């Protein structure tokens, strides 16, 4: 492990904590990997999709579009694709439809990694 820098963060007790950023063989830092995983959650509609799926269980794009309202199906499909490719949704086929459900473990892991990186207690 090569230490690139030693930035400081302030944890929830107001104590400065030093964190190290690792560089991998691919040249990608731990921070960059975490940022890539978290950027999926920046889009409000993706958070809305996750919330709806958690509340109602697996749904297809048509059902989700109706539940969200005032949005076209292609927009919902695009967000489902991003969430699925990031590993936050699983997709199962039923006949000709694809049903999406939340991968709760993957979301918990991503949030746990964020807390661990920032030094916040889990």
Kindly calculate the radius of gyration of the chain based on its CA atoms and give it in whole angstroms. 18
Exposure string (b/e) for 38-69, b if CB count within 10 Å is 16 or more? eebbeeeebebbbebbeeeebbbbebbbebbe
CATH of the domain at 72: 1.10.10.10
Contact assessment for residue 65 and residue 73, using Cβ atoms and an 8 Å cutoff: yes
Q: What is the mean pLDDT of residues 61-66?
A: 98
Q: Is residue 101 part of a domain?
A: yes
Q: What's the total number of domains in the chain?
A: 1
pLDDT value of position 4? 41
- CA dist 57 → 5, 75, 113 (Å): 43, 20, 25
> Residue 4 — φ and ψ, nearest 5°?
-85, -40
Confirm whether 15 is domain-assigned.
no
Domain that holds residue 73: 37-118
Q: Over the stretch 71-86, which tens digit does the pLDDT of each residue have?
A: 999 999 999 999 999 9
**For all residues of the chain together, what is the average pLDDT?**
85
For the whole model, what pTM was predicted?
0.76
């Amino acid at each position: 492990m090569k230490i690139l820098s030693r930035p400081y963060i302030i944890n929830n007790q107001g104590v400065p904590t030093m964190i190290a950023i690792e560089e991998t063989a691919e040249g990608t830092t731990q921070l960059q990997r975490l940022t890539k995983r978290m950027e999926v959650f920046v889009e409000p509609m993706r958070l809305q999709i996750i919330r709806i799926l958690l509340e109602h269980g697996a749904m297809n794009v048509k059902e989700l579009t109706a539940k969200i309202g005032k949005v076209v199906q292609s927009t919902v499909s695009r967000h489902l694709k991003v969430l699925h490719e990031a590993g936050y949704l699983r997709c199962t086929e039923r006949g000709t439809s694809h049903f999406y459900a939340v991968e709760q473990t993957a979301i918990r892991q991503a949030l746990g990694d964020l807390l661990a990186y920032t030094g916040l207690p889990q």
